[in-house]
């Protein structure tokens, strides 16, 4: 790939929809600003639970194919052109929830050799040479095997890429500050009687919630980026029902749609100034943006 923009962002996710929920504002912002945004999704989410009754017949490969179309629609909403499946379509299957027999499928992501899978991601890193990589924390945010494995693959790929002379300047994990989550759920509790959802989730149901001091960076949803995130989430109709500023997954428990997205910088130099960064590329020198 030639003539890439000066700023390049890579995001690594487990299934279609994870990117829009976690990083929709961030992706829309940087795409609009002219950065090259690359999304690598590790599986097609073939074992996801389908919400709409009219799509309930979808399962396995058929569901995976449909979710791939949903992903394409979500990327259009975010303005992202470069989105890929790790190793190509069907290379790694959805592993299902932790502890289920699906985890033992030899073709699922949970059973993948991390170094081999990371090698596939290194190929992407060598091509687009991102300065910033975003992925999950070691628990995958909430313990899903595919999220955990995506974390392992992304972090190992960053190591291997550095050894190959293609270092990634900054690595971030998706986070949510506890105070923000608590305030949002307090509002949800007050507004729930007027919503089309019967029950609310809780702070413990939100992936990646940490104490506020862990947060290093926040990306605010301003202008159209807020609307772009909601549109991208709506595109994943098999998995998400949106009624702004809330949404539900297949568990039918309402939770907040966060229009500011938060991160923990785990590798690389923090940008200058006090307080939280407001730019994932903060502090990256001109020599690293090339």
The reply to whether 15 sits in an annotated binding site is: yes
The reply to whether 151 sits in an annotated binding site is: no
The reply to whether 18 sits in an annotated binding site is: yes
With beta carbons less than 8 A apart as the criterion, state whether 164 and 122 touch: yes
Instruction: Give the residue numbers of the binding site.
Output: 15, 18, 147
Instruction: Give the residue numbers of the binding site for Zn(2+).
Output: 15, 18, 147
């Amino acid at each position: 790939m030639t003539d890439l923009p000066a700023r390049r962002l890579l995001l690594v996710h487990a299934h279609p929809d994870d990117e829009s929920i976690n990083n929709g504002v961030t992706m829309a912002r940087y795409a609009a600003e002219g950065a090259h945004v690359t999304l690598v999704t590790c599986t097609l989410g073939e074992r996801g639970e389908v919400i709409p009754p009219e799509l309930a017949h979808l399962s396995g490969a058929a569901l995976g194919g449909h979710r791939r179309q949903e992903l394409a629609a979500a990327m259009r909403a975010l303005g992202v052109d470069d989105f890929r499946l790790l190793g190509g379509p069907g290379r790694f299957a959805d592993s299902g929830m932790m502890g289920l027999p699906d985890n033992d499928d030899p073709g699922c992501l949970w059973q993948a050799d991390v170094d081999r899978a990371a090698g596939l991601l290194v190929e992407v890193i060598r091509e687009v040479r991102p300065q910033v990589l975003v992925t999950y924390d070691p628990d995958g945010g909430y313990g899903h095997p595919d999220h955990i494995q995506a974390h392992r693959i992304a972090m190992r790929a960053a190591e291997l890429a550095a050894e190959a002379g293609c270092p990634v300047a900054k690595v971030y994990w998706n986070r949510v500050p506890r105070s923000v989550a608590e305030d949002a759920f307090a509002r949800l509790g007050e507004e729930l009687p007027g919503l089309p959802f019967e029950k609310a989730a809780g702070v413990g149901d939100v992936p990646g919630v940490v104490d506020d001091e862990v947060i290093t960076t926040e990306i605010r949803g301003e202008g159209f980026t807020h609307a772009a995130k909601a549109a991208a989430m709506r595109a994943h109709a098999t998995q998400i029902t949106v009624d702004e500023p809330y949404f539900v997954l297949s568990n039918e428990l309402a939770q907040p749609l966060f229009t500011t997205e938060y991160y923990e910088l785990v590798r690389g130099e923090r940008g200058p100034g006090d307080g939280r960064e407001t730019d994932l590329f903060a502090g990256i020198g001109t020599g690293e943006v090339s």
